[in-house]
Chains A and B, each alone.
Chain A
Amino acid sequence: MTRITLFRWAAGCAAVLSVASAYLATAGSRRLAERRYAERTAASAAAYLARVSTPKGVQPVPLDPAAFLRRVRVLATLPDWSPDVEVYFGTAPLVHATEPSLPLSTIASLAGQDSPEWFSGGAYAPIPGPTPGRVVGVVRVRPHLPGDATAPWLLGLLGLTALLGAVAATQLRRRRWARWLGAYALSALAFGGVAASAAHAALRTSTIQWLQETAVLIEDAGSRLQHTPTSALAETFKAMAADGTLTPDTSSDPVLERALAGTRPGSPLPIWLGGGRWLSLQPPPEDWVVTARHAVAGTAALAGTILLIALSWGAGDRAHPGRIEETLSAWMFLAPAGAHLAALTIAPLGVLLWVAMHHWDLTTGGGAFVGLANVADVLSHADTWSALGRTALFALHAPVVTAIALFLALMARRAPTPLVRVLLVVPPFASVAAAGLIWKNGLAAWGLFSDPWSALWTLVVIAAVLQIGYQVPAFLAGLDRIPGVLWDAAVLDGASAWTRFRRITEPLLRPVTFSILLTGIVVAVQGFTLAFVTGPNAPDLAALHLYQLGWRQGRLDLAAALAVLLAVGLAVFAALQVRIWGRGVIDET
């Protein structure tokens, strides 16, 4: 086996291992979440049954079997309390009569425990009897969390990423290596995102679900103690909070807190006990630390890409001395720019993707993973389509403006004085907002902003003026780069001015034209400031629509989905441009 083959095998293993470990981390998180939920629910239910099945005011509590039986029936039918539960009195199942009875060994091992135990697929919590160390019953909870919306995504991306990683590994240091690595890296990025999201969601759901259900138990138990003050209640119900803490609630608006608690991780859940009494159920703080396990899944997925790059580098030419030093110093030079890029471009982009794939409200913050539902949602609104249509119409000015700028640049080269160049460059020195306001206030009197349509056309004119100022100098610089001798040669060959432009100038200027046109269209599609300062009659361009979705309607998720749509659209457009028009550009540059 040659050295390079060895590296390819290593790369393949690294890619597959990275995907597998990310998946395992996610699955582990889900397993952990389910188990944690089951254990807590079992503990809470056991404490609840012990509390409500004892006669009032008797200390220590002897368990009343009749009340216990009644209470078990009540428990199984409590509204909003839905765990997969079985309660054993002794060894006899009370909820589902057909269940096999509890082995004595289980009871024996639970004797003397005050926390739940995990046996074969369920959490078992003992219900203590009147004498210490005696167990009168057992609550068993099987893990049961709402279905995971990410599961099909996770599996699909798992397969795709592993496949792309394997292919990329075989292409190590071959001609198409960069392309396959790129595809793999993108897929790994998506997979890492979904895996992290899945891990995060599972752990979060387990906490929130338990909080909500335990609140039901505490409310039910509290309704029997109408006159006990909250501080005493917190102490009495302490066992029901399992490893969380129960305190009298001190928040200013418990009703709102209660409404938000389901959507916001980490916040305590207020529980209403009637008569203005509120308790606050707080999950253990380490829950939110453990929730950070989602980072493990994401990192594991991305590690493959880094390993592949490192292996490719390692498989490179060994004969080249000082390679490590050169590579290191190159990265050191790149580091500041890289950090800037990562912090200000890549990270926000990641957040955007995250938000676009989750339920995310301005007031309540992040919620459940929804995949492409936001995209589907935003695409189902007629508003979106009209905004996109108007944006396309608005962006149509870019090619026209570019043609005008090219014409002006060609004229400016013949101008006898550099003053002409200066005058053409002045407009972009004005800020877009200032220009918009000046135009608006100056032209409002002519009724140019009286309705969205005339405002749209006026904005086209303003944008054109601003754009031309950027484009003319770029064209002038591009023209200066063409050796003048080529035009001389063409003149001698007998080419007319038009032929010289068409056959010499235009092809040689194409890299400049291409980038200017593309930038112009991107700027137009992203155009926000102009529309924003236009005021009430602003044309509903996509960027403005996006802003309004996010900040007026509070639907950050829909705004993010629209932003992603726009980005994808522009990327496709740019790729098509390169395909159709830019082939020569790539050749020349």
Chain B
Amino acid sequence: MSAVALRGVTKTLDSASAPILDQVSLEIADGEFLTLLGPSGGGKTTLLRCVAGLEQPTAGDVVIGDQVVTRSPPAARDVAMVFQAQALYPHLTVRGNLAFPLEVRGAGRALISRKVLALAENLGLERMLDRRPASLSGGEQQRVALARALVRDPKVLLLDEPLAHLDPVSRADLAAAIARWHTERPVTTLHVTQDLTEAFTLARRVAVLDGGRIRQTGTPRDVYLAPADTQVARMMGRPGMNVLGGTAHHLKAGTEVQCGPLLIPVPLREYEGQITIGVRPENVSIGPPGRGMGDATARLIEPSGPDTLLHLDTGEGVIVARIPGFLDVTPGTPVGVTFDVTQLHFFDSSGKRLS
């Protein structure tokens, strides 16, 4: 049994400033792979360090298996961690790095050698066993770091943005290696990232952490399709969802929302007053001025090949649209804006999702 539970974990540096972690409660089932997603400065790494025991929470408890380990030293918790970068012992060879956790725990020479070899084979490190970390690529280094974390079969594996500093190819390789390992030998894993793709590649379940609070937990699909609040909505997608404040009016034909110059008919029944609309860039389309829900001025045009990101200035804010292919629009020209009304998300004035 090595499920992990956080119960009201709070971490404050001093009473004057806002808490880094604010009453965080989270359950990770035995063998589950949970990704903690959030912007930088959101408290993700602090949470991870509290689980590892490298930091003490100000309040709340950390439970691993059926033991409360809040006051236990890191070594007693049997957790392993893969850090962002630079965490390999530079003076030891890859073999030395892999053997280190076993050596300090007093494992026998034969056992160490067997385990290191087996793991190296599994993760494709056989040929670099006698090299120093400095002579490895970033991807290889992180692979070794992963191997070092796994070598002693920890109860819990903590991944602190392990892919953050890698080039796209190594990133995909390492993500695949992590995913494969977890399928073969499910170890309870808490993975932290600010990268949506990284989170969705690896996670079965995602927890969104922002401002020291858990905003939403669920499968990647749930979180993406139904963000719990505007903060989460802004985080989902690249670029994130457009969030526009407006006023809803209930009319005979249906409800209409006035957002600056845009008048948006919405499939809501009987809603009056302040409302926030979320729309993904891919659900925004453009047409000639005057033919749409309202007009806006094209500002910044970012072609990326398959599609083009178009920044539209409504006069009250900027909407990003993702238009397929290349665009023949010059900055400064007015365009008509249309939203796909079937794909809209609605939030109340405090930012909570309306069901």
Measured CA separation A483–B86 after assembly (Å):
7
Measured CA separation A297–B243 after assembly (Å):
87
Cross-chain contact B87 with A485 (CB below 8 angstroms): yes
| In the complex, B329 has a CB within 8 A of chain A | no
Closest to B158 in A: A492
**A492 partner, pick from B54, B90, B91, beta carbons under 8 A:** B54
Interface string of B81-96 (1 = CB under 8 A from A): 1011011011100000
Q: How far is the CB of B45 from chain A (nearest CB, A)?
A: 11
| In the complex, A377 has a CB within 8 A of chain B | no
Contacts of B79 in A (CB 8 A): 492
Cross-chain contact A488 with B81 (CB below 8 angstroms): yes
Cross-chain contact B83 with A489 (CB below 8 angstroms): yes
Measured CA separation A508–B79 after assembly (Å):
25
Measured CA separation A507–B74 after assembly (Å):
23
Cross-chain contact B75 with A492 (CB below 8 angstroms): yes
Cross-chain contact A508 with B104 (CB below 8 angstroms): no
Known contacts A508-B90, A584-B91; is-contact A494 B104 (Cβ 8 Å): yes
Main SS at interface, chain A: helix
| In the complex, B47 has a CB within 8 A of chain A | no
| In the complex, A588 has a CB within 8 A of chain B | yes
A458-490 contacts to B, CB under 8 A, are: 483, 485-486, 488-490
Cross-chain contact A503 with B87 (CB below 8 angstroms): no
Cross-chain contact B104 with A499 (CB below 8 angstroms): yes
Measured CA separation A504–B84 after assembly (Å):
19
| In the complex, A493 has a CB within 8 A of chain B | yes
Cross-chain contact A495 with B89 (CB below 8 angstroms): no
| In the complex, A491 has a CB within 8 A of chain B | yes
Contacts of B91 in A (CB 8 A): 507-508, 584, 587-588
| In the complex, B100 has a CB within 8 A of chain A | yes
Cross-chain contact B54 with A504 (CB below 8 angstroms): no
B80-131 contacts to A, CB under 8 A, are: 80-81, 83-84, 86-87, 89-91, 100-101, 104-105
Cross-chain contact B89 with A486 (CB below 8 angstroms): yes
| In the complex, B62 has a CB within 8 A of chain A | no
Count of chain A residues near B, Cβ 8 A: 20
Measured CA separation A508–B133 after assembly (Å):
14
| In the complex, B52 has a CB within 8 A of chain A | yes
Cross-chain contact A493 with B104 (CB below 8 angstroms): yes
B271-286 contacts to A, CB under 8 A, are: none
Cross-chain contact B75 with A488 (CB below 8 angstroms): no
Q: How far is the CB of B85 from chain A (nearest CB, A)?
A: 8
Interface string of A569-589 (1 = CB under 8 A from B): 000000000000000100110
Closest to B84 in A: A485
Closest to A506 in B: B91
Cross-chain contact B81 with A588 (CB below 8 angstroms): no
Known contacts A489-B81, A491-B54, A492-B74; is-contact A504 B104 (Cβ 8 Å): no
Measured CA separation A493–B82 after assembly (Å):
11
Measured CA separation A534–B100 after assembly (Å):
52
Q: How far is the CB of B134 from chain A (nearest CB, A)?
A: 9
Q: How far is the CB of A251 from chain B (nearest CB, A)?
A: 71
Q: How far is the CB of A177 from chain B (nearest CB, A)?
A: 25
Measured CA separation A496–B79 after assembly (Å):
16
Q: How far is the CB of B102 from chain A (nearest CB, A)?
A: 9
Interface string of B203-214 (1 = CB under 8 A from A): 000000000000
Contacts of B152 in A (CB 8 A): 493
Interface string of B226-259 (1 = CB under 8 A from A): 0000000000000000000000000000000000
Q: How far is the CB of B160 from chain A (nearest CB, A)?
A: 9
Contacts of A508 in B (CB 8 A): 90-91
Cross-chain contact B74 with A491 (CB below 8 angstroms): yes
Contacts of B49 in A (CB 8 A): 488
A482-527 contacts to B, CB under 8 A, are: 483, 485-486, 488-496, 499, 503-504, 507-508
Closest to A494 in B: B75
Contacts of A485 in B (CB 8 A): 83-84, 86-87
Cross-chain contact A483 with B104 (CB below 8 angstroms): no
Measured CA separation A341–B89 after assembly (Å):
39
Q: How far is the CB of B70 from chain A (nearest CB, A)?
A: 16
Contacts of B89 in A (CB 8 A): 486, 489-490, 503-504
Cross-chain contact A495 with B104 (CB below 8 angstroms): yes
Cross-chain contact A494 with B105 (CB below 8 angstroms): yes
**A488 partner, pick from B54, B104, B132, beta carbons under 8 A:** B54
A318-358 contacts to B, CB under 8 A, are: none
Measured CA separation A445–B305 after assembly (Å):
88
Closest to B154 in A: A492
Contacts of B81 in A (CB 8 A): 488-489, 492
Contacts of B132 in A (CB 8 A): 587
Contacts of B80 in A (CB 8 A): 492-493
Q: How far is the CB of A475 from chain B (nearest CB, A)?
A: 17
Cross-chain contact B104 with A588 (CB below 8 angstroms): no
Known contacts A488-B54, A492-B54, A503-B104; is-contact A483 B74 (Cβ 8 Å): no
Measured CA separation A503–B100 after assembly (Å):
9
Measured CA separation A531–B49 after assembly (Å):
54
Q: How far is the CB of A276 from chain B (nearest CB, A)?
A: 83
Contacts of B100 in A (CB 8 A): 490, 493, 495, 503
A488-B87, A588-B91 known; 19 new pairs, CB 8 Å cut-off, are: A488-B54, A489-B89, A489-B148, A490-B104, A491-B53, A492-B54, A492-B74, A493-B75, A493-B104, A493-B105, A494-B74, A494-B105, A495-B75, A495-B104, A499-B104, A503-B89, A503-B100, A504-B89, A588-B90
Q: A interface vs B, CB < 8 Å?
A: 483, 485-486, 488-496, 499, 503-504, 507-508, 584, 587-588
Q: List 20 A-B contacts (CB under 8 A).
A: A483-B87, A486-B87, A486-B89, A488-B49, A488-B83, A488-B87, A489-B83, A489-B89, A490-B100, A491-B54, A492-B53, A492-B74, A492-B80, A493-B105, A494-B105, A496-B104, A499-B104, A503-B100, A508-B90, A588-B90
Counting from the closest, the 7 A-B pairs by CB-CB distance are A494-B75, A493-B101, A495-B104, A507-B91, A485-B87, A489-B87, A483-B86
